[in-house]
Protein backbone atom coordinates (compact mmCIF):
# COMPACT_ATOMS: atom_id res chain seq x y z
CA UNK A 1 0.00 0.00 0.00
CA UNK A 2 1.65 3.19 -1.18
CA UNK A 3 1.21 6.43 0.69
CA UNK A 4 -0.32 9.14 -1.42
CA UNK A 5 1.40 12.44 -1.94
CA UNK A 6 -1.21 15.10 -2.51
CA UNK A 7 0.47 18.41 -1.70
CA UNK A 8 -1.64 20.61 0.64
CA UNK A 9 -3.30 23.06 0.92
CA UNK A 10 -6.20 22.12 -1.33
CA UNK A 11 -8.68 23.97 -3.51
CA UNK A 12 -11.83 21.81 -3.41
CA UNK A 13 -13.55 21.56 -6.79
CA UNK A 14 -17.33 21.11 -6.52
CA UNK A 15 -18.44 21.37 -10.15
CA UNK A 16 -22.15 22.12 -10.43
CA UNK A 17 -23.42 19.65 -7.80
CA UNK A 18 -26.74 20.24 -6.15
CA UNK A 19 -26.65 18.05 -3.06
CA UNK A 20 -24.15 17.58 -0.28
CA UNK A 21 -24.31 13.78 -0.80
CA UNK A 22 -22.84 14.27 -4.28
CA UNK A 23 -20.03 16.34 -2.76
CA UNK A 24 -19.05 13.71 -0.23
CA UNK A 25 -15.33 13.84 -0.96
CA UNK A 26 -15.27 17.62 -0.45
CA UNK A 27 -17.41 17.35 2.67
CA UNK A 28 -15.21 14.60 4.05
CA UNK A 29 -12.05 16.63 3.58
CA UNK A 30 -13.58 19.68 5.26
CA UNK A 31 -14.91 17.59 8.15
CA UNK A 32 -11.75 15.57 8.77
CA UNK A 33 -8.85 17.75 7.60
CA UNK A 34 -10.16 21.29 7.54
CA UNK A 35 -6.61 22.65 7.94
CA UNK A 36 -5.67 21.34 4.50
CA UNK A 37 -8.66 22.97 2.76
CA UNK A 38 -8.00 26.57 1.68
CA UNK A 39 -10.84 27.22 -0.73
CA UNK A 40 -13.62 25.90 -2.92
CA UNK A 41 -14.24 26.30 -6.65
CA UNK A 42 -17.87 26.09 -7.79
CA UNK A 43 -19.21 26.15 -11.34
CA UNK A 44 -22.44 27.97 -12.28
CA UNK A 45 -25.44 26.08 -10.89
CA UNK A 46 -23.60 24.61 -7.88
CA UNK A 47 -25.83 24.58 -4.81
CA UNK A 48 -23.39 23.18 -2.27
CA UNK A 49 -21.32 25.42 -0.01
CA UNK A 50 -18.59 23.86 2.12
CA UNK A 51 -18.05 27.16 3.97
CA UNK A 52 -14.68 27.75 2.32
CA UNK A 53 -13.61 30.91 0.45
CA UNK A 54 -14.54 30.79 -3.25
CA UNK A 55 -11.28 31.00 -5.17
CA UNK A 56 -10.25 30.86 -8.81
CA UNK A 57 -7.24 28.65 -9.56
CA UNK A 58 -5.04 31.73 -9.95
CA UNK A 59 -6.24 33.26 -6.66
CA UNK A 60 -5.77 29.92 -4.92
CA UNK A 61 -2.23 29.57 -6.26
CA UNK A 62 -1.47 33.12 -5.05
CA UNK A 63 -2.48 32.15 -1.49
CA UNK A 64 -0.24 29.08 -1.54
CA UNK A 65 -2.70 26.35 -2.59
CA UNK A 66 -0.87 23.44 -4.23
CA UNK A 67 -3.56 21.04 -5.42
CA UNK A 68 -7.03 21.24 -6.89
CA UNK A 69 -8.87 18.24 -5.41
CA UNK A 70 -12.05 17.06 -7.13
CA UNK A 71 -14.57 16.97 -4.30
CA UNK A 72 -17.54 15.48 -6.13
CA UNK A 73 -18.26 11.83 -6.84
CA UNK A 74 -20.70 11.26 -9.67
CA UNK A 75 -22.38 7.83 -9.87
CA UNK A 76 -20.13 5.62 -11.96
CA UNK A 77 -17.11 7.82 -11.46
CA UNK A 78 -16.97 9.63 -14.80
CA UNK A 79 -15.13 12.81 -15.74
CA UNK A 80 -17.62 15.50 -16.72
CA UNK A 81 -16.44 17.22 -19.94
CA UNK A 82 -17.53 20.59 -18.50
CA UNK A 83 -14.79 20.26 -15.85
CA UNK A 84 -11.84 20.02 -18.21
CA UNK A 85 -11.37 23.75 -18.85
CA UNK A 86 -11.20 24.44 -15.10
CA UNK A 87 -8.66 21.67 -14.57
CA UNK A 88 -6.53 23.07 -17.40
CA UNK A 89 -6.76 26.49 -15.78
CA UNK A 90 -5.60 24.99 -12.47
CA UNK A 91 -2.63 23.28 -14.13
CA UNK A 92 -1.73 26.53 -15.88
CA UNK A 93 -1.91 28.33 -12.53
CA UNK A 94 0.68 25.93 -11.13
CA UNK A 95 -1.61 23.53 -9.22
CA UNK A 96 -1.55 19.75 -9.32
CA UNK A 97 -4.97 18.13 -9.89
CA UNK A 98 -6.13 15.15 -7.79
CA UNK A 99 -9.27 13.10 -8.28
CA UNK A 100 -10.76 9.79 -7.28
CA UNK A 101 -12.95 9.03 -10.25
CA UNK A 102 -12.90 5.69 -12.07
CA UNK A 103 -12.03 7.68 -15.21
CA UNK A 104 -8.35 8.47 -14.83
CA UNK A 105 -7.23 12.07 -15.14
CA UNK A 106 -3.98 10.77 -16.64
CA UNK A 107 -6.00 8.96 -19.30
CA UNK A 108 -7.52 12.21 -20.60
CA UNK A 109 -5.34 13.35 -23.52
CA UNK A 110 -6.06 17.09 -23.12
CA UNK A 111 -5.32 17.03 -19.41
CA UNK A 112 -2.26 14.82 -19.80
CA UNK A 113 -0.87 17.25 -22.37
CA UNK A 114 -1.64 20.27 -20.18
CA UNK A 115 0.04 18.64 -17.17
CA UNK A 116 3.17 17.95 -19.22
CA UNK A 117 3.18 21.47 -20.60
CA UNK A 118 2.95 23.07 -17.17
CA UNK A 119 5.11 20.54 -15.34
CA UNK A 120 2.29 19.63 -12.95
CA UNK A 121 0.99 16.25 -11.72
CA UNK A 122 -2.36 14.52 -12.28
CA UNK A 123 -2.98 12.40 -9.18
CA UNK A 124 -5.44 9.53 -9.55
CA UNK A 125 -6.46 8.49 -6.05
CA UNK A 126 -8.71 5.66 -7.22
CA UNK A 127 -5.83 3.69 -8.71
CA UNK A 128 -5.27 0.37 -6.96
CA UNK A 129 -1.67 -0.65 -6.30
CA UNK A 130 -0.11 -3.16 -8.69
CA UNK A 131 0.37 -6.79 -7.79
CA UNK A 132 -2.67 -7.42 -5.58
CA UNK A 133 -2.84 -11.21 -5.07
CA UNK A 134 -5.85 -13.52 -5.07
CA UNK A 135 -7.10 -13.84 -1.46
CA UNK A 136 -5.56 -16.67 0.54
CA UNK A 137 -8.18 -16.84 3.28
CA UNK A 138 -5.34 -17.15 5.81
CA UNK A 139 -6.15 -15.83 9.28
CA UNK A 140 -3.95 -12.83 10.10
CA UNK A 141 -2.65 -11.67 13.45
CA UNK A 142 -4.08 -8.53 15.08
CA UNK A 143 -7.72 -7.51 15.32
CA UNK A 144 -10.07 -6.00 12.81
CA UNK A 145 -13.24 -3.95 12.98
CA UNK A 146 -15.25 -3.30 9.82
CA UNK A 147 -18.05 -0.79 9.40
CA UNK A 148 -20.79 -2.18 7.14
CA UNK A 149 -23.89 -0.48 5.83
CA UNK A 150 -27.52 -0.93 5.05
CA UNK A 151 -26.81 1.31 2.02
CA UNK A 152 -24.19 3.63 0.51
CA UNK A 153 -23.70 7.06 2.12
CA UNK A 154 -24.98 6.17 5.57
CA UNK A 155 -21.85 6.94 7.61
CA UNK A 156 -19.45 3.98 7.29
CA UNK A 157 -16.38 6.15 6.76
CA UNK A 158 -17.28 8.68 9.47
CA UNK A 159 -18.02 5.88 11.91
CA UNK A 160 -14.68 4.22 11.20
CA UNK A 161 -12.78 7.51 11.52
CA UNK A 162 -14.55 8.35 14.79
CA UNK A 163 -13.89 4.87 16.19
CA UNK A 164 -10.21 4.98 15.19
CA UNK A 165 -9.68 8.31 16.88
CA UNK A 166 -11.61 7.31 20.01
CA UNK A 167 -9.52 4.11 20.25
CA UNK A 168 -6.34 6.15 19.86
CA UNK A 169 -7.55 8.59 22.53
CA UNK A 170 -7.89 5.63 24.91
CA UNK A 171 -4.35 4.51 24.14
CA UNK A 172 -5.39 1.53 22.00
CA UNK A 173 -3.20 0.98 18.94
CA UNK A 174 -5.55 1.47 16.02
CA UNK A 175 -5.22 2.31 12.34
CA UNK A 176 -7.94 3.67 10.07
CA UNK A 177 -7.87 1.70 6.80
CA UNK A 178 -9.35 3.65 3.91
CA UNK A 179 -11.15 1.85 1.08
CA UNK A 180 -12.60 4.78 -0.88
CA UNK A 181 -11.34 7.93 -2.50
CA UNK A 182 -12.36 10.27 0.30
CA UNK A 183 -10.92 8.10 3.05
CA UNK A 184 -7.70 7.69 1.07
CA UNK A 185 -7.38 11.46 0.64
CA UNK A 186 -8.04 11.99 4.37
CA UNK A 187 -5.65 9.28 5.56
CA UNK A 188 -3.02 9.59 2.83
CA UNK A 189 -3.09 5.87 2.08
CA UNK A 190 -5.45 2.96 1.47
CA UNK A 191 -6.82 0.87 -1.37
CA UNK A 192 -9.79 2.03 -3.50
CA UNK A 193 -11.55 -1.30 -3.19
CA UNK A 194 -14.27 -0.57 -5.74
CA UNK A 195 -11.63 0.10 -8.41
CA UNK A 196 -9.94 -3.29 -7.95
CA UNK A 197 -10.45 -5.93 -10.65
CA UNK A 198 -13.07 -8.19 -9.16
CA UNK A 199 -11.00 -11.40 -9.01
CA UNK A 200 -8.71 -9.58 -6.57
CA UNK A 201 -11.35 -7.92 -4.40
CA UNK A 202 -10.93 -10.04 -1.28
CA UNK A 203 -7.17 -10.15 -1.90
CA UNK A 204 -7.09 -6.34 -1.82
CA UNK A 205 -8.92 -6.35 1.50
CA UNK A 206 -6.35 -8.81 2.86
CA UNK A 207 -3.52 -6.53 1.70
CA UNK A 208 -5.21 -3.52 3.28
CA UNK A 209 -5.09 -4.93 6.81
CA UNK A 210 -1.93 -7.06 7.04
CA UNK A 211 -0.63 -9.04 10.01
CA UNK A 212 -0.24 -6.80 13.06
CA UNK A 213 0.57 -7.09 16.75
CA UNK A 214 -2.05 -9.08 18.67
CA UNK A 215 -3.55 -6.02 20.43
CA UNK A 216 -3.69 -3.81 17.36
CA UNK A 217 -7.01 -2.86 15.78
CA UNK A 218 -7.44 -2.09 12.12
CA UNK A 219 -10.60 -0.04 11.72
CA UNK A 220 -11.64 -0.68 8.14
CA UNK A 221 -13.93 1.65 6.20
CA UNK A 222 -16.81 -0.35 4.69
CA UNK A 223 -18.12 0.06 1.14
CA UNK A 224 -21.55 -0.30 -0.43
CA UNK A 225 -24.08 -2.66 1.10
CA UNK A 226 -24.99 -6.34 0.86
CA UNK A 227 -28.46 -5.10 -0.09
CA UNK A 228 -27.37 -2.85 -2.96
CA UNK A 229 -28.22 -4.18 -6.44
CA UNK A 230 -25.06 -2.68 -7.98
CA UNK A 231 -22.43 -2.87 -5.25
CA UNK A 232 -23.13 -5.92 -3.06
CA UNK A 233 -20.30 -7.87 -4.70
CA UNK A 234 -17.79 -5.22 -3.61
CA UNK A 235 -19.19 -5.34 -0.10
CA UNK A 236 -18.97 -9.12 0.12
CA UNK A 237 -15.37 -9.23 -1.11
CA UNK A 238 -14.40 -6.57 1.43
CA UNK A 239 -16.12 -8.48 4.27
CA UNK A 240 -14.41 -11.74 3.29
CA UNK A 241 -10.93 -10.26 2.90
CA UNK A 242 -11.14 -8.18 6.05
CA UNK A 243 -12.11 -11.17 8.24
CA UNK A 244 -13.55 -8.77 10.82
CA UNK A 245 -13.59 -9.73 14.50
CA UNK A 246 -16.21 -7.05 15.07
CA UNK A 247 -18.60 -5.20 12.80
CA UNK A 248 -20.60 -2.02 13.28
CA UNK A 249 -23.77 -1.77 11.21
CA UNK A 250 -24.30 1.75 9.84
CA UNK A 251 -27.77 2.93 8.92
CA UNK A 252 -29.50 6.22 8.26
CA UNK A 253 -32.55 6.59 10.48
CA UNK A 254 -35.70 6.67 8.39
CA UNK A 255 -34.14 5.51 5.12
CA UNK A 256 -36.19 2.54 3.97
CA UNK A 257 -35.05 2.05 0.37
CA UNK A 258 -31.64 2.05 -1.30
CA UNK A 259 -30.64 5.59 -2.35
CA UNK A 260 -31.45 6.13 -6.06
CA UNK A 261 -32.90 2.58 -6.24
CA UNK A 262 -36.40 3.13 -4.82
CA UNK A 263 -37.58 -0.36 -5.82
CA UNK A 264 -35.04 -1.90 -3.44
CA UNK A 265 -36.12 -1.94 0.22
CA UNK A 266 -33.59 -1.95 3.03
CA UNK A 267 -34.32 -5.06 5.15
CA UNK A 268 -35.13 -4.70 8.86
CA UNK A 269 -32.00 -4.19 10.99
CA UNK A 270 -32.27 -7.64 12.55
CA UNK A 271 -32.25 -9.19 9.07
CA UNK A 272 -29.24 -7.05 8.06
CA UNK A 273 -27.38 -8.27 11.14
CA UNK A 274 -28.13 -11.90 10.31
CA UNK A 275 -27.09 -11.60 6.67
CA UNK A 276 -23.83 -9.75 7.32
CA UNK A 277 -22.79 -12.12 10.09
CA UNK A 278 -23.57 -15.12 7.91
CA UNK A 279 -21.42 -13.62 5.14
CA UNK A 280 -18.54 -12.74 7.48
CA UNK A 281 -18.54 -16.20 9.07
CA UNK A 282 -17.08 -17.69 5.88
CA UNK A 283 -13.61 -16.31 6.65
CA UNK A 284 -14.06 -15.62 10.38
CA UNK A 285 -16.61 -17.84 12.11
CA UNK A 286 -16.19 -15.73 15.28
CA UNK A 287 -17.19 -12.46 13.55
CA UNK A 288 -19.61 -10.61 15.80
CA UNK A 289 -21.42 -7.32 16.24
CA UNK A 290 -20.10 -4.43 18.27
CA UNK A 291 -23.07 -2.13 17.75
CA UNK A 292 -25.13 0.10 15.51
CA UNK A 293 -24.13 3.47 14.08
CA UNK A 294 -27.32 5.38 13.37
CA UNK A 295 -27.09 8.48 11.21
CA UNK A 296 -29.68 10.84 12.73
CA UNK A 297 -28.55 14.03 11.00
CA UNK A 298 -32.01 14.66 9.57
CA UNK A 299 -33.88 14.34 12.90
CA UNK A 300 -34.69 16.77 15.72
CA UNK A 301 -33.66 15.83 19.26
CA UNK A 302 -36.82 13.98 20.38
CA UNK A 303 -37.07 12.04 17.10
CA UNK A 304 -33.36 11.24 17.31
CA UNK A 305 -33.70 9.82 20.82
CA UNK A 306 -36.66 7.72 19.74
CA UNK A 307 -34.80 6.40 16.69
CA UNK A 308 -31.76 5.40 18.75
CA UNK A 309 -33.96 3.72 21.36
CA UNK A 310 -35.92 1.84 18.69
CA UNK A 311 -32.71 0.57 17.07
CA UNK A 312 -31.40 -0.54 20.47
CA UNK A 313 -34.63 -2.39 21.18
CA UNK A 314 -34.70 -4.02 17.75
CA UNK A 315 -31.11 -5.24 17.81
CA UNK A 316 -30.14 -5.53 21.49
CA UNK A 317 -26.88 -3.76 20.65
CA UNK A 318 -25.24 -0.48 21.70
CA UNK A 319 -26.47 2.17 19.33
CA UNK A 320 -25.06 5.68 18.81
CA UNK A 321 -24.82 8.43 16.23
CA UNK A 322 -21.04 8.93 16.24
CA UNK A 323 -21.34 12.39 14.66
CA UNK A 324 -23.59 13.57 17.50
CA UNK A 325 -22.66 11.35 20.45
CA UNK A 326 -19.11 10.29 19.61
CA UNK A 327 -18.01 6.66 19.62
CA UNK A 328 -17.29 6.34 23.36
CA UNK A 329 -20.14 3.89 23.99
CA UNK A 330 -18.94 1.64 21.17
CA UNK A 331 -15.33 1.73 22.37
CA UNK A 332 -16.51 0.97 25.94
CA UNK A 333 -18.25 -2.11 24.58
CA UNK A 334 -15.17 -3.09 22.55
CA UNK A 335 -12.86 -2.80 25.57
CA UNK A 336 -15.30 -4.78 27.71
CA UNK A 337 -15.00 -7.66 25.23
CA UNK A 338 -11.31 -7.26 24.41
CA UNK A 339 -9.79 -5.99 27.67
CA UNK A 340 -6.27 -4.66 27.53
Q: Under the criterion CB under 8 A, does residue 233 sit at the interface with a second copy?
A: yes
273 binds a second copy (CB under 8 A): no
Of the residues 118, 140, 275, 312, which one makes contact with a second copy according to CB under 8 A: 275
Closest to a second copy by CB, 67 vs 182, is 182
- Contact flags string 76-95 toward a second copy, x per CB under 8 A: xx------------------
Considering the complex, what minimum distance in angstroms separates the CB of residue 237 from a second copy?
Answer: 3
- The answer to whether 285 contacts a second copy (rule: CB under 8 A) is no
- Of the pair 102, 312, the CB lying nearest a second copy is at 102
Buried b (16+ CB within 10 A) or exposed e, 169-187: eeebebbbbbbbbbbbbbb
Between residues 149 and 203, which has the closer beta carbon with respect to a second copy? 203
Of residues 304 through 323, those in contact with a second copy by CB under 8 A are none
Please enumerate in sequence order all residues whose Cβ is within 8 A of that of 50, keeping only pairs 6 or more positions apart, or say none: 12, 14, 23, 26, 27, 30, 37, 40, 71
Selected range binding a second copy among 34-42, 166-174, 258-266, 317-325, rule: CB under 8 A: 258-266
The stretch near a second copy (CB under 8 A) out of 12-20, 48-56, 164-172, 237-245 is 237-245
Q: Say if residues 54 and 12 touch (Cβ distance below 8 Å).
A: no
Smallest distance, Å, CB 229 to a second copy? 4
| Distance, CA of 159 to CA of 182 (rounded, Å) | 14
Least Å distance between CB 157 and a second copy? 16
On whether the CB atoms of residues 320 and 330 are closer than 8 A, the answer is yes
Looking only at the bridges linking them, the beta strands covering 261-265 and 257-258 are antiparallel
- Report the site for a second copy in 165-224 (rule: CB under 8 A): 193-199, 201-203
CB-neighbour burial class of residue 168 (10 A; exposed 0-12, middle 13-18, buried 19+)? middle
CB nearer to a second copy: give 138 or 340. 138
Q: Is 113 in the site for a second copy (CB under 8 A)?
A: no
What SS3 state is found at 240? helix
Helices 84-92 and 109-118, axial angle in degrees (round to 10): 10
237 binds a second copy (CB under 8 A): yes
Exactly one of 263, 300, 336, 340 binds a second copy (CB under 8 A); that residue is 263
- Alpha-carbon distances of 174 from 17, 136, 223, rounded to whole Å: 35, 24, 20
For the bound state, the minimum distance from the C-beta of residue 150 to a second copy, rounded and expressed in Å, comes to 13
x-or-dash pattern for a second copy, window 42-81, by CB under 8 A?
Answer: ---------------------------------xxx----
We find the least distance from the C-beta atom of residue 137 to a second copy, in angstroms, to be 4
d(CA 93, CA 1): 31
CB 236 to a second copy: min, Å: 5
Provide the 10 A C-beta neighbour count for residue 333: 18
Contact flag: residue 230 with a second copy (CB under 8 A): yes
Please name which of 17, 16, 66, 6 lies closest in space to residue 39, comparing C-alpha atoms. 66
Rounded CA separation 100/239 (Å): 22
DSSP 3-state assignment of 122? strand
| Minimum distance from residue 243 beta carbon to a second copy (Å) | 9
What one-character DSSP code corresponds to residue 136? -
Report, in Å, the least distance between residue 218 CB and a second copy.
18
Of 29, 36, 88, 26, residue with least CA distance to 57:
88
Q: Return residues touching a second copy (CB under 8 A).
A: 75-77, 102, 133-137, 193-199, 201-203, 227, 229-238, 240, 261, 263-264, 275, 278, 282-283
Amino acid sequence: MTRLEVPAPYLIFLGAVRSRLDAKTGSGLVDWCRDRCAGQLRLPGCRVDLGLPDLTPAAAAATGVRTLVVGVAPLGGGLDPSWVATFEEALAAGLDVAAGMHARLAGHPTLAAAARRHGRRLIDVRMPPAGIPVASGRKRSGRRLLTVGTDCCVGKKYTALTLASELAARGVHATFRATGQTGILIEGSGIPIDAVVSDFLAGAAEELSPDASPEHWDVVEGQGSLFHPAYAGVTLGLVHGTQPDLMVLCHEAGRDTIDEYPRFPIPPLAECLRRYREAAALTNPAADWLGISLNTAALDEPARKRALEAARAETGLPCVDPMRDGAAALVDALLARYPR
